[in-house]
Structure 1
Amino acid sequence: MSRTRIALVFSAAVVLTAGACAPQPGSTTSAASSSGASTAPTCTVDALALHEKGRLTVATDSPAYSPWFEENTPANGKGFESAVAYAVAEKLGFQKDQVKWVVEPFAHSYAPGAKNFDFDINQISITPQRAQAVDFSSSYYKADQAILTLDNSKFANATSLAGFKDAKVGVQVATTSYQAVLDQLKPSQQPGVFNTTNDEVNALKNGQIDAIVTDLPTVFYLAGAELDNAKIVGQFGYAGGTPEEFGLLLSKGSKLTPCVNKALDALKADGTLSKLSSQWLSASANVPALKP
């Protein structure tokens, strides 16, 4: 996948909740950890429980795709999730050169056990199942699922989720998109599962699949930067119409979780998350909502 930033300018922001006109980053979810919530956390750098003393270690997958990261370089501060990570770091008291990035494959991130990072930021949806093994922060972004196909596909003019019953749909491994496809598209054949978004795009080009399902911002990027003949068919909510919520992932019972939540609360309150969302994830609201 190309690492060059594509300036995708659209007419309005993604409609995420009734009456909203821009991506609304950050709302506390029931799956988010409440570790340490009973007392006010001490969140000075010296007091933080860190993987490496005096340094904030942040994880994400590789390759790191736009619009979440740019140029496959998380440390450059470009892209929504890179910018959010550095904003959280600043609220915690770290300078940019005190942030260290490490690679953590998406499917490994929420496995039980010790972590080699302080938090992971990688479009990881907060779910009760995952929260049994790891901590999640409150959410920093919400997004619907969307369906992408080629403009000459027989599915390009589908007006409902049922229209994809006979489609071969591609999803990325270990994502909530897989379950969303099973629950709401209910295809007659099992979805094709791919290791990376790049693999999904190649499969679509080669006719191995008929459509891709992933979050709406990523669909906009793929349609604008990776495919010349793509069509965004529509969007749909996950889990009964509720948009997916992305959270920072921490080790289970991490003493850092309440401090990360405190930092995110401050970023919501001062408008930083909204500003970063508008800067990096602005997208068209003119994508039809697909009903069952």
Structure 2
Amino acid sequence: MRTTIRGSALAALSVALLITTGCAPRDEADDTATDSGASPTAGDCEKDDLDTYSEGVLTVATDNPAYPPWFVDNDPSNGKGYESAVAYAIADQLGFAEDEVEWVKVPFNAVVSPGEKEFDFDVNQVSITPQRAKAVDFSSGYYDVRQAVVTTKGSSIEGVTSMAELQDARLGAQVGTTSYAAIGDQIQTSEEGAPFDTNDQAVQALENGQIDGIVVDLPTAYYMVAVQLSKGSIVGQLPLPDGEVEQFGAVLDLGSPLTDCVSQAVDTLRDDGTLAELEDQWLAQQGAPELS
């Protein structure tokens, strides 16, 4: 899943200039690096030894626009918002100062598609899935995801408490995401989910009564209800499928020489409590009921 916030309510936000570093791709020989299967040691991940896209710079990608609570003011470089803060925390673990981090704009579909990436890693609410892992590398998960259903007050699904009550609902989500997959795979609605290129298209369809609800990650659901929808309401969050935890991970080139080091950085941030602190700071919210 990739769940994003694409709200027309934020259209007035100023768009920060995200300057793409002009640089040549890595040498082909570098791209043939293979994973030895062993976890890197701290010495393996020294800044000067890292094969970054641009020498001496850590290039981080995300989509544009970039919305709260993952980013603030559509400016990933300000360190505000959960994913912006996580990216800078990873950079710090790798030895890069804030002024050595460059942000570039890359659409979600380009991030998860096969092909050489013009960045070191991407943070863009991309869920780790086996299918995607055939085309790109993922770091360890930096956020545990729960899916939720959003509707408007007075709709046919407001107040439902079970998955069975959503079977005949007209639900939509951003196409290509695990949110969209959940409509057919987990909720198993009687009609196919409505696909949207962006979440703000889904929001508009919900406001217009074209669909009954939107499936999206829980933090995005809270933001939709608070900002994007005039009378938004969270129906509830979906149970974890088969008890498995869905996670967002940083996306890297398939076979990237940086994958193990980025994963080591994320693992350290989880173990030392940094990820939990950033989650409390940027994603704090009241719990939503779980659908039975």
Q: Which has the higher helix share?
A: 2
Deviations 1:155-196 (A, max 9, x none): 102111121222111101210111111012111211111111
SS at 2:241 equivalent: coil
SS at 2:255 equivalent: coil
SS at 1:142 equivalent: strand
For 1:204 and 1:43, the matched residues in 2 are separated by: 47
Is this contact kept in 1: 2:139–2:251, CA < 8 A?
A: yes
For 2:239 and 2:108, the matched residues in 1 are separated by: 22
Moved over 2 A (4+): 1-4, 34-37, 237-243
For 2:226 and 2:163, the matched residues in 1 are separated by: 23
For 2:122 and 2:134, the matched residues in 1 are separated by: 16
Is this contact kept in 2: 1:64–1:74, CA < 8 A?
A: yes
Is this contact kept in 2: 1:67–1:79, CA < 8 A?
A: yes
For 2:267 and 2:197, the matched residues in 1 are separated by: 33
Which residue pairs with 1:138 in the alignment? 140
For 1:233 and 1:149, the matched residues in 2 are separated by: 7
Which residue pairs with 2:15 in the alignment? none
Unaligned runs of 5+ in 1: 5-33
Deviations 1:262-281 (A, max 9, x none): 21122122211110000001
Equivalent residue in structure 2 for 1:66, among 68, 73, 86: 68
SS at 1:88 equivalent: helix
Letter in 2 for 1:280: W
Q: Tell me, yes or no, if structure 1 residue 75 matches structure 2 residue 77.
A: yes
- Structure 1 residues 153 and 39, CA, compared in 2 at 3 Å: closer, same or farther? closer
- Structure 1 residues 39 and 288, CA, compared in 2 at 3 Å: closer, same or farther? closer
Unaligned runs of 5+ in 2: 1-6, 12-33
Which residue pairs with 1:91 in the alignment? 93
Deviations 1:216-268 (A, max 9, x none): 11001111111231111111135324232111111111110111112112212
SS at 2:161 equivalent: coil
Letter in 1 for 2:136: V
Is this contact kept in 2: 1:107–1:173, CA < 8 A?
A: no
For 1:86 and 1:74, the matched residues in 2 are separated by: 10
Which residue pairs with 2:53 in the alignment? 51
Which residue pairs with 2:40 in the alignment? 40
| TM-score calculated relative to the size of structure 1 | 0.85
- Structure 1 residues 44 and 216, CA, compared in 2 at 3 Å: closer, same or farther? same
Letter in 1 for 2:251: L
Which residue pairs with 2:4 in the alignment? none
Alignment of 1:280-291 (within 5 A): 280-285=282-287, 287-291=288-292
Which residue pairs with 1:100 in the alignment? 102
Alignment of 1:159-238 (within 5 A): 159-238=161-240
Which residue pairs with 1:123 in the alignment? 125
Q: How many residues align?
A: 261
Is this contact kept in 1: 2:40–2:264, CA < 8 A?
A: no
SS at 1:159 equivalent: coil
For 1:174 and 1:128, the matched residues in 2 are separated by: 14
For 1:157 and 1:270, the matched residues in 2 are separated by: 39
SS at 1:240 equivalent: helix
For 1:139 and 1:237, the matched residues in 2 are separated by: 19
